[in-house]
Structure 1
């Protein structure tokens, strides 16, 4: 008996939309056909024409474990993720302790194996004194290597030119960069403090962490990658100016790639008036013109993938004055429906969203047998319904531990009805399925 049979779905995969049934057995896609008859399955779902897409692969999350479990942990945030159509995630290294050693990496993998409802991978961090460890890494053991080129992350801030040069030369796998120029940011913040003291308005955030601070750092990263042949992936672009650093084209032909996050595609600086520090993030949400340029770059294959940078904080923390209110937003629960807003607005086609959230991510990180609806591949699936009327996000129970979402005042046109992780029901009929256990991502490198 097969595990799962989904009938009457509209599959979206590799540039095509087509009607088909899909059969899952032993965790994998066993068969895709116009009609699958004479087969019994433990669970059968009549999709009634809903879209069946490969689950979103989120290349950038902060699930806060270990060290900040009051904000979230792997169990709570992976539950929120599967409710949002995310079937796999890659977690960032700035935890406590940070993922700067192979022992810390192994600890995170053990934690995820015990509690994650989604498939998981982990990025390795860079400090000023762990370059020998990075050079010796097995590329198959990490999702990528993450460098903070000018973000306030303690000993993970790497801005020494000699350290950066060694990193770009000897990094054995894909290097992910958070690009902001710290001296510029500090100078801007000093000016605002002289005028407002501790009570800097939230709307000043994109003026403090401005386009120049982003460009000075991202242009340095791209220049170094070109000089040393580094496989570079620049995270969460936020400005029109930075787009000139990247070339259009399919992701598998590129040596330097870029990501944009859902909040930078849906919000702009006019939203600070209503949401304040709830949308304070690094790099900052900037102007409507920047947002529109990011959308166009995504449609034109200048930007390669959509991520979330899910980074939960408690409401109490977010209500503090500017200098003490932390940066970061909880996003995974509404990630795929939020990305699909770009389809409703005519910015992207449905097949483009699937490419940017699944296919391109799998190709970019060389993830084995995931990210596509293909027979023999792992069954990581999301069944999505386009609603006759947009729904209010405020009506949703929030599964992230922090208990809030920046989308609370928004209406979304799509909802995830079912999520399947490695062949297991993870989210179905509005409920997390507690027996689902994600698997480690494998990388063909």
Structure 2
């Protein structure tokens, strides 16, 4: 097995930043110490002044395969993720056909085994009549079941109380929810249309508003408390929702929550310049909501940061508001955006690592990942905080070929990413590895 020695890195792990050496043998971190000798080493990487982080584990992406490969593929989007420092992902079921059976789930695993650059897992989508499929999920192999408790596409909406109660009572795996009340959305939309003939992007946070989110997320939390379910509420966007979640360590929580990078970065003030490019569900809301999310990361009412990466073509995004689809491509620039929060003192580097690597590994009980520890898989990202990265549509690797961060100059640069010990991306800007990722395993 090949061996790589990383020298003098500032290792960011478990609340500490320490200058250390690290040796990778095969796919595993063999040794971490203050000084490791270079014997029996195939490659030495001098990392003085750079930060070495565990790779980001993104628990919410939409890679669009099968069915929507003109928007993105498992290969294209996982490659962009690796270049952005994301080494593992969990992908959503709203593809075509929707991933609502074990057979469809197995087909996606088969695609990823051949084409994915990052480690992978896939959610089963809940419907109002596929409880038998949910009951077959394997806690050691399957990351969770996705429940759209609000407006959705492809028949994945679950609103009937009996169906929801059965899922929360019977699911053998973590339940993850998209929480927006369809009835509140419809009433808000109708009210706006009484006062204006045509809706625009500025109306998006008024339609998909605070009450739409809170009514649905509070219902999900109440169901989880009633049945003692394992619940993870995705992409929280409002200050009001934070009161639903307990502060403190993620350890032993059975109800957790997540914020996404675009809700931490943009506010409704950005609709004027970016328009439908930042149309997403749940909507980007007020500056005060965005600031509350940052505070929720500090109090640990928000446990995890993810992306909700959801690419659409630029042509689709240029349609009128009502026709333009919701979703943003984010995986390549997510970690860089979080490092910008660190630069401006809104978050610490150890917090970013906790929320993007440690906590996803803990919440999902991922085997051997999410930490820089001897014996763990070498899923690593090396950061140069002294170099900048200018974002353009042209240097974005998404299949859709655009980014909402266009024109942004981030104050850090991702130098290298390792997946299972293989250096997939280097500081020469070249992707050097072939798809060789692994399915995530879960110790539960």
TM-score by length of 1: 0.97
For the 8 Å contact 1:299–1:347, the answer to whether it is kept is no
What is aligned with 1:103?
103
Tell whether 2:413 aligns with 1:410: no
What is aligned with 2:357?
358
For the 8 Å contact 1:420–1:427, the answer to whether it is kept is yes
CA deviation after TM superposition for structure 1 residue 99, in Å: 1.1
Matches within 5 A, 1:84-233: 84-197=84-197, 199-233=198-232
CA deviation after TM superposition for structure 1 residue 404, in Å: 0.6
**Alignment deviations for residues 160-203 of structure 1 (CA, whole Å, 9 cap, x no partner):** 01110111100111100000000111222233344544x42211
Cα distance in 2 for residues equivalent to 1:39 and 1:329: 46
Cα distance in 2 for residues equivalent to 1:3 and 1:244: 48
Matches within 5 A, 1:47-58: 47-58=47-58
Corresponding residue pairs, total: 443
**Alignment deviations for residues 320-368 of structure 1 (CA, whole Å, 9 cap, x no partner):** 0111100000000011111112211212111111000000000000000
For the 8 Å contact 1:358–1:372, the answer to whether it is kept is yes
CA deviation after TM superposition for structure 1 residue 51, in Å: 0.1
Q: Secondary structure at the match of 2:90?
A: strand
What is aligned with 1:431?
430
What is aligned with 2:333?
334
Cα distance in 2 for residues equivalent to 1:196 and 1:333: 38
**Alignment deviations for residues 102-150 of structure 1 (CA, whole Å, 9 cap, x no partner):** 1101000000000000000111110011011112322122111110001
Cα distance in 2 for residues equivalent to 1:252 and 1:120: 23
Matches within 5 A, 1:15-94: 15-94=15-94
| Cα separation, partners in 2 of 1:281 and 1:395, compared to 1, 3 Å | closer
What is aligned with 1:287?
286
TM-score by length of 2: 0.97
Q: Secondary structure at the match of 1:251?
A: coil
CA deviation after TM superposition for structure 1 residue 436, in Å: 4.2
CA deviation after TM superposition for structure 1 residue 38, in Å: 3.8
For the 8 Å contact 2:393–2:401, the answer to whether it is kept is no
**Which of 376, 396, 399 lines up with 1:398 in the alignment?**
396
Cα distance in 2 for residues equivalent to 1:159 and 1:422: 40
Moved over 6 A (4+): none
CA deviation after TM superposition for structure 1 residue 433, in Å: 2.0
CA deviation after TM superposition for structure 1 residue 2, in Å: 3.8
What is aligned with 2:245?
246
Tell whether 2:377 aligns with 1:378: yes
Tell whether 2:345 aligns with 1:346: yes
**Alignment deviations for residues 260-310 of structure 1 (CA, whole Å, 9 cap, x no partner):** 000000100000000000000000000000000000000111100000000
For the 8 Å contact 1:225–1:232, the answer to whether it is kept is yes
For the 8 Å contact 2:74–2:115, the answer to whether it is kept is yes
Q: Secondary structure at the match of 1:146?
A: strand
Q: Secondary structure at the match of 1:53?
A: strand
Structure 2 unaligned blocks of 5 or more: none
Cα distance in 2 for residues equivalent to 1:436 and 1:33: 30
Q: Secondary structure at the match of 2:412?
A: strand
Cα distance in 2 for residues equivalent to 1:417 and 1:436: 19
Cα distance in 2 for residues equivalent to 1:435 and 1:228: 44
Cα distance in 2 for residues equivalent to 1:444 and 1:434: 28
Q: Secondary structure at the match of 2:4?
A: strand
CA deviation after TM superposition for structure 1 residue 48, in Å: 2.1
What is aligned with 2:443?
444
Cα distance in 2 for residues equivalent to 1:412 and 1:318: 24
Query: RMSD of aligned C-alpha atoms?
Result: 1.3
CA deviation after TM superposition for structure 1 residue 394, in Å: 2.3
Q: Which moved more, 1:379-388 or 1:227-236?
A: 379-388
Q: Secondary structure at the match of 1:332?
A: coil
Cα distance in 1 for residues equivalent to 2:356 and 2:323: 33
CA deviation after TM superposition for structure 1 residue 33, in Å: 1.0
Cα distance in 2 for residues equivalent to 1:42 and 1:190: 65
For the 8 Å contact 1:91–1:121, the answer to whether it is kept is yes
